[in-house]
Amino acid sequence: MNKTGLFLLSLLTLNGICSCADSLKEAFGCKFKIGTSVSPHELGSGANFIKKHFNSITPENELKPDSILNQGASQSQGNNVNPAVNFGQGTSSTLKFCEDNGISLRGHTFVWYSQTPEWFFKQNFGNGGFVTPDIMNQRLENFIKNTFQQLAQKYPKLNVYAYDVANELFLNDGGGMRPAGNSKWVQVYGDDSFVINAFTYARKYAPSGCKLFLNDYNEYIPNKTNDIYKMAMKLKEKGIIDGIGMQSHLDQSYPSADVYKTAMEKFISTGLEVQITELDITANDQGKQASLFKDIFSAALKNAASITCLTVWGTNDSISWRSSQNPLLFSSGYTPKKAYTEVMTLAAC
């Protein structure tokens, strides 16, 4: 650009007309990390796009218990307490992509009622009866230990900066934790001690600098906000939690930005970090979608002292788990949508 061009550009910037950032990372990366979930099939064609926009990655499925726990290997160890953790091809390629490109990792997740094999809770890692809480504690500790050890050994340069230790513990209506019929964790333990234990073990084995999160969805429903808040405070008193993850799977017409912000402020009032961990907004009206995306980014910026990452749950509509409802900032082919251009008017870096 020549001198006149540069002069005009700086005038526009000073007047707030043009932020001139060319990516999400450039626009917001100085305030908090900007992340996306990623599936391994995207690492080829989507690599440049991902590298351009994001400095944090959450593997969409590849670190979930059912992806990394290996039944045969667990059984052949023959000790009933040490589950074998095995990173398959999808997990390995995602972690290598992060390591090679200096993109930080949000690990997701250890304790979850879903996508966790039933044999993990059963005698001899088989299909008999459930194990006792004492046996399960040893399995839980070894599961967390083995995972962090392999991350460190296989990807020594990878920055594992955050981990969802527990995901989706609570019912939506303020009824507390999921009942035994809906969570094998509760079925085995009968109370919330597995949550405390999981955070205790994670604190013991996570690399220094890796922040430990309690993550949940529909977190803006006031009664549920309250249940998450209470559990976070209990963990905070024990010094074993660092943050609360707001999944943020929203819709253009619910929740309102105000309802969402009320939950965010309540979580911030714990004094813990807060991360937006899985943001997407289903929509049939691009204007309404853009406006709610903008409100959420704006709330995050306003609270940037406490918000340490904003992750969108996918790169573009065509690969989203809710693809029929076009929930992301980009449409297929990584084409920017109105939501993206609106969000970029808030560029803060």
Q: From the list 62, 219, 227, 278, which residue makes contact with ligand GLA (rule: CB under 6 A)?
A: 278
Pairing of β 330-331 and β 335-336? antiparallel
Residue whose C-beta lies closest to ligand GLA: 321
Please say whether the beta carbons of 160 and 151 come within 8 A.
Answer: yes
Among 141, 273, 278, 342, which one carries the catalytic annotation?
Answer: 278
CB of 304 to ligand GLA, least distance (A): 24
- The interface with ligand GLA within residues 174-213 (CB under 6 A) comprises none
Nearer to ligand GLA, 108 or 139 (CB): 108
Nearer to ligand GLA, 161 or 321 (CB): 321
C-alpha span between 20 and 1 (Å, rounded):
14
Q: From the list 217, 220, 260, 293, which residue makes contact with ligand GLA (rule: CB under 6 A)?
A: 217
- The interface with ligand GLA within residues 51-80 (CB under 6 A) comprises 60
C-alpha span between 215 and 259 (Å, rounded):
18
- The interface with ligand GLA within residues 70-129 (CB under 6 A) comprises 108
C-alpha span between 54 and 28 (Å, rounded):
10
Contacts of 323 (CB under 8 A, 6+ apart): 317
Amino acid at 103: I
Q: From the list 225, 247, 282, 306, which residue makes contact with ligand GLA (rule: CB under 6 A)?
A: 247
What count of other Cβ atoms lies within 10 Å of the Cβ of residue 124?
14
* Interaction mask 312-341, ligand GLA, x per CB under 6 A: ---------x--------------------
- Work out whether 282 is an interface residue with ligand GLA (CB under 6 A): no
Which uninterrupted H or E stretch holds 74? helix 71-77
Strand segments (E) across the chain: 33-38, 56-59, 69-70, 84-85, 104-112, 160-167, 211-216, 243-246, 249-251, 273-282, 307-312, 330-331, 335-336
Nearer to ligand GLA, 252 or 277 (CB): 277
CB of 43 to ligand GLA, least distance (A): 17
Among 62, 168, 273, 342, which one carries the catalytic annotation?
Answer: 168
Residue 237 a catalytic site member: no
The number of residues that bind ligand GLA (CB under 6 A) is 7
- Work out whether 167 is an interface residue with ligand GLA (CB under 6 A): yes
Pairing of β 33-38 and β 273-282? unpaired
Residue 278 a catalytic site member: yes
User: Which residues in this chain contact ligand GLA in the complex, by CB under 6 A?
Assistant: 60, 108, 167, 217, 247, 278, 321
Q: List the catalytic residues.
A: 168, 278
